[in-house]
Chain A
């Protein structure tokens, strides 16, 4: 095995174009010995920044959750991103987990993807050719060999967002998570924890969320098995959190 520390994105892309290469940053996603022949460290690429520009906040992929939480983007939309960072794992882990990793690993319990989906965030992907993907595209289809998330662009929005999670403890993996963003143009809803993070379009068009509508939207989901909570219980918790988050955000 080899551990390589490229200094530029171009160099990293070249090194990742290898059948058994694994990009690493925070290192929290895979305890033990990684199943790879080449580890490519992304933390020397200088992708550690949050910049406010006319088209939105540009967040470098290796910005840690602790840094994101203290940046101006965290306070946008009623502290929406701050809420998602607050109990995202624990204090030492928040100093390690990166924004790019939280998206690219595709974990069900990741806090940022549902929030970023409702904000319409885009990711800039570096590879043989540069491309732009939505957070949903990254989470659902993944990246190709030799690609890495370089930056996330979060539009500046003036509405309000609420993030809620249900877990064994505050800092544990989310068994259910909901992210609701609301402004004068309407409501956007995303869920995670029990399924791969995704928008719930059924709950976005209607002004009033009736119990029937909620049942229909949630019953379509097929929760991934969880060691402690059965699927019906988690669906019930999801409905409760959705109702609370929607009521809170539109209050």
Chain B
């Protein structure tokens, strides 16, 4: 079957089998920043934003993306022009193997959109759907705080 949706601001047509989940369809269409970890909803590295909200793309049916706006980490910034959250992750050493990073950044983005100056507790809860097996999370939490400060500074 075929659907139309917007991915990172671009109109796209996606083709897939009716039972397929969004994760596998996105990767087949070249969105490799969406990672395939467990494929059963536990690890969260496949998280994308659908109409601005983080969801696990390994469980969402691709057919449900019809008419939706999907954002992957690539949609936030590029190596030449990174988003402040992406820059903060690099500066704070919040990236080790990098496998969870796109999902962490998208969850952090969703949090900072709603809560510009989050507490530790709010950051931990916002990231609770994504597993990181390298960092122990401390540097990731620090990076989200740094990003919040920088974005807040820009706004002022």
Q: Is the CB of B41 within 8 A of A28?
A: yes
- CB neighbours of A66 from chain B (8 A): 53
Q: Is the CB of A91 within 8 A of B63?
A: no
Task: Please encode chain B, from 52 to 91, with 1 for each CB lying within 8 Å of some chain A CB and 0 for all others.
Answer: 0111101111011010000000000000000000000000
- CB neighbours of A28 from chain B (8 A): 41, 56, 59
Point out the residue from B17, B39, B50, B53 that lies within 8 Å of A31, measured CB to CB.
Answer: B39
Query: Contacts A3-B1, A95-B54 given: A31-B64 contact, CB under 8 Å?
Result: no
Q: Is B47 an interface residue (CB 8 A)?
A: yes
Task: For the complex formed, measure the closest distance between the CB of B61 and the CB atoms of chain A, giving whole angstroms.
Answer: 5
Which residue on B lies nearest to A66, using beta carbons? B53
Q: How far is the CA of A95 from the CA of B1 in the complex (A)?
A: 25
Query: Contacts A3-B1, A5-B66 given: A96-B59 contact, CB under 8 Å?
Result: yes
Query: Contacts A3-B61, A93-B56, A96-B59 given: A32-B126 contact, CB under 8 Å?
Result: no
Which residue on B lies nearest to A29, using beta carbons? B59
Q: Is B19 an interface residue (CB 8 A)?
A: yes
- CB neighbours of A27 from chain B (8 A): 21, 59-61, 64
Query: Contacts A31-B39, A92-B44, A92-B47 given: A1-B60 contact, CB under 8 Å?
Result: no
* Size category of the binding interface on chain B: 20 to 34
Q: Which of A28, A31, A91 has the most CB of B within 10 A?
A: A91
Q: Is B107 an interface residue (CB 8 A)?
A: yes
Q: Is B136 an interface residue (CB 8 A)?
A: no
Q: Is A26 an interface residue (CB 8 A)?
A: yes
- CB neighbours of A2 from chain B (8 A): 18
Main secondary structure of the interface of A (DSSP, over half): loop
Task: Please encode chain A, from 82 to 104, with 1 for each CB lying within 8 Å of some chain B CB and 0 for all others.
Answer: 00000001111101100000000
Q: Is the CB of B19 within 8 A of A33?
A: yes
Q: Is the CB of A1 within 8 A of B17?
A: yes
- CB neighbours of A34 from chain B (8 A): 19
Q: Is A39 an interface residue (CB 8 A)?
A: yes
Q: Is the CB of B18 within 8 A of A91?
A: no
Q: Which of B39, B47, B53, B66 has the most CB of A within 10 A?
A: B53
Q: Is A41 an interface residue (CB 8 A)?
A: yes
Point out the residue from B56, B63, B125 that lies within 8 Å of A96, measured CB to CB.
Answer: B56
Q: How far is the CA of A32 from the CA of B55 in the complex (A)?
A: 16
Q: Is A241 an interface residue (CB 8 A)?
A: no
Q: Is A73 an interface residue (CB 8 A)?
A: no
Q: Is B11 an interface residue (CB 8 A)?
A: no
- CB neighbours of A24 from chain B (8 A): 61
CB within 8 Å of B: which A23-53 residues: 24, 26-28, 31-34, 39, 41, 43
Point out the residue from B18, B40, B56 that lies within 8 Å of A92, measured CB to CB.
Answer: B56
- CB neighbours of B61 from chain A (8 A): 3, 24, 27, 39, 41
Q: Is B128 an interface residue (CB 8 A)?
A: yes
- CB neighbours of B37 from chain A (8 A): none
Which residue on B lies nearest to A172, using beta carbons? B42
Q: How far is the CA of A33 from the CA of B62 in the complex (A)?
A: 12
Q: Is the CB of B60 within 8 A of A39?
A: no
Q: Is B129 an interface residue (CB 8 A)?
A: yes
Q: Is the CB of B58 within 8 A of A91?
A: no
7 interchain pairs, CB-CB under 8 A: A1-B18, A27-B21, A39-B19, A39-B61, A89-B129, A92-B55, A95-B53
Query: Sorted from nearest, which 10 A-B pairs have the closest CB atoms?
Result: A90-B129, A31-B40, A3-B18, A92-B129, A3-B63, A92-B54, A90-B128, A27-B59, A95-B53, A91-B129
A33-B19, A92-B107, A93-B129 known, 20 other contacts, Cβ within 8 Å = A3-B18, A5-B63, A5-B66, A26-B59, A27-B59, A27-B61, A31-B41, A32-B39, A32-B40, A41-B63, A43-B64, A90-B128, A91-B107, A93-B56, A95-B50, A95-B53, A96-B56, A96-B59, A170-B128, A171-B128
